[in-house]
Amino acid sequence: MPSIADEFDSFVRTRTPALLRSAYLLTGDQHLAEDLVQSALARTHRSWKRLHEVGNAEAYTRKVMYHLQVSWWRKRRVAESMPGDLPDRGGVDTTTATTLKITLQQALLKLTDKQRAVLVLRFFEDHTEAETAELLGVALGTVKSQTAKALARLRTVAPELALANGDVR
Amino acid sequence: MNDDLHARLTALAEDVTPVDLHSRVLATSRKLAWQRSALAGSVALTIVGVIAGSALALTPTLRAVTPADSPSPAATLPTPTPTPAAALSTSPGPTGTAIDLANSTLDIPAWPGDNSAPCQGTKTLTDGVAPGATSGPTRHIALGKVVTGDVNHDGKLDTVAVILCRTGQNPLSQLVAFEAGPSGGVRTIGRIVGPAPHRTTSELATIFDVKVTDEGDIQAEVGDFTGLLDQHSAQYSQHQFRTYRWDGQKFAQHAGPTSFAKNPNFSQLIITTTDLQFGPLTGGQRTGTLKVTVHNDGAGPAWGTKLAIWAPGFVLRTGPGWDTCTPIPSGEYRVGAECVIGKLQPGETRTFTYGFSTGSANVDPAGAETYVVGRARDGEDSEGARPGSSSEAKFNVTAS
């Protein structure tokens, strides 16, 4: 029978890739994503015995991750932008997947931490507005307004993404 | 749903390189343990405490299968009415046998306010659970309490169940009636009741228990709060008993209250402000004030209320109003401060005046967002089981 330590080891190794994917969208950077996941998992480790008993360690880790990334009073901290402007598109097929990916990455970094978190929760992790509000510890109305602002901002800074207007579900 | 955005985010997320963080995680954990022992009770750990409190909440919210007439998740709660639940052996009673919903293919009615694919449409349950999302957090259908009775008055036994959309966080629940289909499958008679499309503390949010009377009425025990754990939903909800009846076309409420009053377990902050009004330039300086009004519109106390005030970078904070405030690290374009207000009783309103000065002739904030955001807990400690409340108000900067 595996020990509790073994089970934490297994949890880290099996869930880190998925956690890193969300963290990468939140931070836009491999190293920042690693730091964020590392911090969240360390807190999970502190509570592992209890989490192990109740059985939803990943949800806990994700919640910690979002809280670490989005402190309530830093809600509008300007995200650090990557140097340079959008890629030179002269002669390049702007519809290629790679170009669109770079465009999206740079556009995400032009959002605030909270706007990015709302987008990732709503459209990557498929949480409802109510769940997103609960996870981030904000009002439902804030989630709605931040989602609308984030989508509007994305459309402005990266019209080539051709994002749909509606986000109702 | 913005499918394009989902697909593009998914593609972008695949760019991250998987790494083994195990040893780094353990090192950070040891560091945290040391900090915790050295700084126990400090403000720095309050945030961690809030999150740690949530840990208790993150338990699976329901067992996978609940056989008919077994104790419900809220089995310790009082029985709604003396009316006994319909028994399978009632005679003369409806014909037929209970459907094994836990191992059936069910047509799940739409969820008000949530149309994510893993929880709607046709779902095949195995041992009370249907497969959910293949990526991201958990989201799938789970079967709650199941009871039987002739709820549509056709002389045949129907099966009524609490259906949950388990989300890893606060589950959604609806009460649905099923009957045997003509060709051996299960037919959905209809939704009896579900959560309000947009949950507020005045609307139905969760279903604790269900019974079917001999007359075919469905009695549901419902609440206005769904927490991360069933026990939190039960603890902080206002509990009501509502009766529903088939009207020949659909299920409609027949008896019991139809709305919830304000819940004494929850605060509701409302922040309002004046503009930041500067006076004329005198000796090269303008002074101005911002009045912030904090109101708790909830029926529960607002604990640990704090404000964060963001003003343009060209102003300075002056005067005694800032005694309970500390600066928030920010750039040259903004001035931020976090102010501790403390506890507000239900209905209480307080107004605070904050002073500013500037040597600038032009007080146009030039795009800097100027606003006050308030936040409060619903409990005395940082338990994390209740969401707390927050409110935000923007203000203009003017000069005379």
pLDDT tens by residue, B194-211: 887 655 556 888 999 999
pLDDT score recorded for residue B73: 35
Taking contacts as CB-CB distances below 8 angstroms, the residues of chain A near B14 are 21
Assess contact for B146 and B66: CB atoms under 8 A.
yes
> Is residue A24 within 8 Å of A3, Cβ to Cβ?
no
- Give B213-228 pLDDT, tens digit per residue: 988 999 999 999 887 6
How many interface pairs between A and B have CB atoms less than 8 angstroms apart? 210
Partner-chain contact A125 B137, CB within 8 Å: yes
Nearest CA distance, A90 vs chain B (angstrom): 23
pLDDT at A23: 93
As a whole number of angstroms, the distance between CA B211 and CA B229 comes to 22
**DSSP code for B290:** E
| One domain for residues B217 and B361 | no
Same domain, B198 and B153: yes
Where is mean pLDDT largest: A31-40, B32-41, B330-339?
Answer: A31-40
Based on the domain organization, do B125 and B221 belong to the same domain?
A: yes
- Contact: B116, A126; criterion CB under 8 Å: yes
Q: Provide the 3-class DSSP secondary structure of residue B3.
A: helix
Q: From edge to edge, which strands make up the β-sheet containing B251-255?
A: B206-212, B218-223, B240-246, B251-255
CATH of the domain at B382: 2.60.40.10
User: Does residue B11 form part of some domain?
Assistant: no
Residue where one domain finishes, among candidates B32, B61, B87: B87
Q: Which of B370, B25, B118 is nearest to A15 (CA)?
A: B25
pLDDT at B197 (0 to 100): 66
d(CA B34, CA B28): 10
Q: Percentage of residues in chain A with pLDDT exceeding 70?
A: 77
Specify the pLDDT at position B244. 96
Q: Which of B122, B182, B181, B189 is nearest to B161 (CA)?
A: B189
Q: What is the mean pLDDT of residues A18-32?
A: 89
The bridge status of strand B302-312 relative to strand B334-344 is antiparallel
The type of residue at B226 is T
Total tally of structural domains belonging to chain B: 3
Tell me what ipTM this predicted complex has.
0.83
Last residue of a domain, one of B65, B87, B109: B87
User: Domain span at residue B72?
Assistant: 20-87
- CB–CB of B187/B158 below 8 Å? no
Q: Is the pLDDT of residue B297 over 80?
A: yes
Q: Span B320-334, mean pLDDT?
A: 83
Indicate if the pLDDT at residue B233 is higher than 80.
yes
CA distances from B298 to A109, B303, B340, B388 (A): 37, 12, 19, 11
Same domain for B112 and B220: yes
What's residue B81's pLDDT?
36
Q: Is residue B1 part of a domain?
A: no
Q: What is the pLDDT of residue B82?
A: 34
Do residues B132 and B166 touch, judged by C-beta distance below 8 A?
A: yes
Please count the CA atoms within 13 angstroms of the CA of B94 that sit on its side-chain side. 25
The token pair at B138 is 């958990």
Helices vs strands, H then E, count in chain A: 8, 0
- From the list B6, B32, B59, the residue facing A43 with the nearest CB is B32
Task: For chain A, positions 39-78, list CB contacts with chain B under 8 A.
Answer: 39, 41-43, 45-47, 50-51, 54-60, 62-64, 67, 71-78
Specify whether B295 is located in the same domain as B386: yes
Task: Give phi and psi for B305, each to the nearest 5.
Answer: -65, 135
CA-wise closest residue to B275 among B170, B370, B161, B179? B370
Place of tokens 């910690």: A64
Instruction: Kindly tell me if the per-residue pLDDT of A10 is higher than 90.
Output: no
In this predicted structure, what is the pLDDT of residue B346? 97
Say if residue B249 is in the same domain as residue B285: no
Q: Report whether A144 contacts A128 (CB < 8 A).
A: no
Other C-beta atoms closer than 10 Å to the C-beta of B188 total 15
pLDDT single digits (tens) B26-37: 888 887 776 656
* A3 contacts: CB under 8 Å, gap ≥ 6: none
Q: Which of B28, B228, B373 sits opposite A75 (nearest CB)?
A: B373
Pair (B105, B45) in one structural domain:
no
How would residue B384 be classed by pLDDT, with cut points 50, 70 and 90? low
Q: Which residue has the higher pLDDT, A75 or B329?
A: B329
In angstroms, rounded to a whole number, what is the distance separating the alpha carbons of residues B271 and B267?
A: 13
Say if the Cβ atoms of A104 and B388 lie within 8 Å. no
**Pairwise CB contact (< 8 Å): A124 & B9:** yes
Could you give the CA distance from residue A30 to residue A86 in angstroms, rounded to a whole number? 20
Residue A152 forms contact with B (CB below 8 Å) = no
Mean pLDDT of B166-184: 83
Mutation choice for B interface testing from A15, A20, A60, A100 by most B CBs within 10 A = A60
User: With b meaning 16 or more CB within 10 Å and e meaning fewer, what string describes A57-85?
Assistant: bbbbbbbbbbbbbbebbbbbbebeeeeee
The pLDDT > 90 percentage for chain B reads: 41
Residue that terminates a domain, selected from B87, B120, B136: B87
Same domain, B362 and B284: yes
Asked if A128 is an interface residue toward chain B (Cβ–Cβ < 8 A), one would say yes
Asked whether residue B376 is domain-assigned, the answer is yes
For all residues of chain B together, what is the average pLDDT? 79
At residue B166 the predicted structure's pLDDT band, cuts being 50, 70 and 90, is confident
What average pLDDT does the segment A49-69 reach? 80
**Does residue B109 sit in the same domain as residue B250?**
yes
Q: CA A126, CA B378: separation in Å to the nearest integer?
A: 27
- Both tokens of residue B34? 């040391």
Number of CB atoms found within 10 A of residue B386's CB = 22
Q: Are residues B106 and B250 in the same domain?
A: yes
Q: How far apart are CA B139 and CA B132, in angstroms?
A: 5
CA dihedral B135, B137, B138, B140 (to 10 degrees): -60
Question: What per-residue confidence (pLDDT) applies to A131?
Answer: 85
Residue of B390, B391, B392, B394 best to disrupt the A interface, most CBs of A under 10 A: B390
Cβ neighbors of B62 (< 8 A, separation 6 or more) are B73, B142, B144, B164, B166, B171, B230
Which residues of chain B make contact with A55, given a CB cutoff of 8 A?
Answer: 59-60
Would B113 be classed as within a structural domain? Answer: yes
Shared domain for B132 and B237, answered yes or no, is yes
- Report the residue of A134, A135, A168 to disrupt the B interface, i.e. the one with the largest count of B CBs within 10 Å: A134
Q: Enumerate residues 6+ apart whose C-beta is below 8 A from B142.
A: B62, B64, B128, B129, B130, B163, B164, B165, B166, B171
Q: Decide if B153 is inside a domain.
A: yes
Helix (H, G, I), strand (E, B) or coil at A20: helix
> Quick one: pLDDT at residue A77?
33
Please tell me which residue of chain B has the smallest CA distance to A139: B390
Q: Give every strand in the sheet of B140-149, ordered side by side.
A: B140-149, B158-166, B172-180, B186-193
Q: Is the domain of B66 the same as that of B108?
A: no
B111 within 8 A of B174, measured Cβ to Cβ:
yes
Report whether B28 contacts A142 (CB < 8 A): no
Interchain contact B7–A (C-beta under 8 A): no
